[in-house]
Copies of this chain bind each other. A is one copy, B any other.
């Protein structure tokens, strides 16, 4: 993480007035004040500012050392990187963070009670700011690939909430990253047709590849208080080679898709795919690359290695996303073939990539990871043992609620088999029984569509639970039903209230959910 200013390439900053505002990251960071709400770019480790946040962290540390309070409220698109969330969390520089994070230092601070974290559906964030629900945005810090002569901005590898931050902030700091290929120009589609109610119009999109906006971000140059030059790569988002569990999950899904096509419930080219972050999602995309389906489309919030491979092979004809989050190796291939990918990728604001209206219209196949599911199909995506935040809900709610098919995936166990990811009752609910259609583990796939709670519980145990935990789950179900049959509870969703969360409590106490 060098602090050396890169060589100035005037073509990257073609606006004469903004060239006048070039300064060091430290000088720019000094323009941010204690108590400010700061909107930064960045979505799943792509397109986040690389130097100003670290300079701000140093500034904050100096202020703290001098006995001065200094904390900001930090809003982003989604997760960023150690240079942003990590640096600011390390110095205790945030009193509030939203809407999604995945940084270890930041997570530790939140779970220690040192900072507040507000976990929001990603499609809700921009409009909440427009509505005034989160207070005034003071400063925007946005990474871009370049600045045109007239001040329009070439976005970087993510769009996220940048449009909203640029529009809503009083002051703007731009980081121009010379490390991004200028050939990104034209890949983005920034839709400026959103309004506040009652002035909203239909979003004119009927295909994942539709372009409905402009390739550039608009920004009033008068609001720009600093331009900082950088030359640093995005986070290297590496994926593990698919393990046996991931391969089996992917295999169950391929079988399911083939059957759905045979039954006439899916077209032969499926429907646009949404794929969450992580290794399992990536493994599913790899399987699709080896599978029988072609003419695929992607409509997702983050485009990872697996989806780029589908585009490269020609299995996928078009992908829409708000961020490109690749391993360094695949990023190289992406940059070298940008002319190819620019025809096949559209990067949009996250209020569009995650918009319920568009998701429902296009009819997505939504595939997201989870921490645990319960007998009745409720899903916990965010909390370890009900109290510790892992990352956040991200876009999973936007997609699951509005998708054509809502799929949640996890290995059946975690921590070497000591945790069952199928539990009597989830310790936190992010997706209710009403939003979960398909649950998949390496053990199998449970198709919950149209089933009542008690029909679901037997199927989930039989298909998805690990054999080590099946007897205890069945025992819980049978005793819950007997208790209800005896008139002590209802048979609609039988539970033993005093025991429902006991598996989690046992894990906290003994290090395993397995009964002694």
One of A76-84, A111-119, A214-222, A241-249 at the interface: A111-119
Contact of A501 among B96, B206, B263, B497 (CB under 8 A): B497
A121 to B402, CA, bound (A): 11
Interface residues of A in 355-412 (CB under 8 A from B): 355-357, 360-363, 378, 383-389, 393, 397, 401-402, 404
Contact of A450 among B135, B401, B455, B494 (CB under 8 A): B135
Q: Is A63 in the interface zone, CB < 8 Å from B?
A: no
A389 to B, closest residue via Cβ: B492
A508 to B, closest residue via Cβ: B488
Residues of B within 8 A of A91 (CB): none
Residues of B within 8 A of A124 (CB): 434
In the complex, the answer to whether B198 meets A386 with C-beta atoms within 8 Å is no
Smallest distance from the beta carbon of A97 to chain B beta carbons, Å? 9
In the complex, the answer to whether A120 meets B497 with C-beta atoms within 8 Å is no
In the complex, the answer to whether B434 meets A397 with C-beta atoms within 8 Å is yes
Residues of B within 8 A of A432 (CB): 397, 429-432
One of A126-134, A145-153, A281-289, A325-333 at the interface: A126-134
One of A46-54, A264-272, A304-312 at the interface: A264-272
In the complex, the answer to whether B133 meets A363 with C-beta atoms within 8 Å is no
A98 to B, closest residue via Cβ: B450
Q: Is A201 in the interface zone, CB < 8 Å from B?
A: yes
Q: How many of A's residues come within 8 Å of B, CB to CB?
A: 90
Residues of B within 8 A of A387 (CB): 484, 489-495, 497
In the complex, the answer to whether B119 meets A388 with C-beta atoms within 8 Å is no
Smallest distance from the beta carbon of A213 to chain B beta carbons, Å? 16
Beyond A387-B492, A434-B393, A489-B385, whether A118 also contacts B452 by CB under 8 A is yes
Contact of A357 among B132, B271, B361, B404 (CB under 8 A): B361
Contact of A492 among B110, B201, B437 (CB under 8 A): B110
Residues of B within 8 A of A200 (CB): 206, 360-363
Smallest distance from the beta carbon of A232 to chain B beta carbons, Å? 31
A494 to B428, CA, bound (A): 11
Residues of B within 8 A of A459 (CB): none
Beyond A113-B484, A271-B197, whether A389 also contacts B120 by CB under 8 A is no
A500 to B135, CA, bound (A): 33
Q: Is A31 in the interface zone, CB < 8 Å from B?
A: no
Residues of B within 8 A of A404 (CB): 131, 197
A267 to B, closest residue via Cβ: B198
Residues of B within 8 A of A198 (CB): 207, 267, 271-272, 362-363
Smallest distance from the beta carbon of A171 to chain B beta carbons, Å? 21
Beyond A202-B206, A356-B360, whether A452 also contacts B490 by CB under 8 A is no
In the complex, the answer to whether B427 meets A434 with C-beta atoms within 8 Å is no
Beyond A362-B198, A449-B133, A504-B497, whether A491 also contacts B204 by CB under 8 A is no
0/1 interface trace, chain A 445-487, chain B, CB 8 Å (1 if under): 0000111101100000000000000000000000001001100
In the complex, the answer to whether B497 meets A498 with C-beta atoms within 8 Å is no
A423 to B129, CA, bound (A): 30
In the complex, the answer to whether A449 meets B490 with C-beta atoms within 8 Å is no
Smallest distance from the beta carbon of A404 to chain B beta carbons, Å? 6
A500 to B, closest residue via Cβ: B501
In the complex, the answer to whether A385 meets B497 with C-beta atoms within 8 Å is yes
Q: Which of A401, A428, A497 has its CB near the most chain B CB atoms (within 10 A)? A: A497
Smallest distance from the beta carbon of A108 to chain B beta carbons, Å? 10
A270 to B, closest residue via Cβ: B198
Residues of B within 8 A of A435 (CB): 121
Residues of B within 8 A of A202 (CB): 202-204, 206, 357, 361
A-side residues, CB < 8 A to B, are: 96, 98, 110-113, 116-121, 124, 128, 131-135, 196-198, 200-204, 206-207, 263-265, 267, 271-272, 355-357, 360-363, 378, 383-389, 393, 397, 401-402, 404, 427-435, 437, 449-452, 454-455, 481, 484-485, 488-495, 497-498, 500-502, 504-505, 508
A-B contact sample (7 more), CB < 8 A, given A200-B206, A386-B497, A388-B490:
A111-B491, A197-B271, A197-B362, A388-B489, A431-B432, A489-B508, A497-B504
**4 closest Cβ contacts across the A-B interface?**
A197-B363, A388-B490, A113-B491, A202-B202
A–B complex contacts, Cβ < 8 Å, 8 sampled: A111-B490, A113-B491, A121-B434, A128-B450, A197-B363, A383-B493, A386-B489, A500-B501
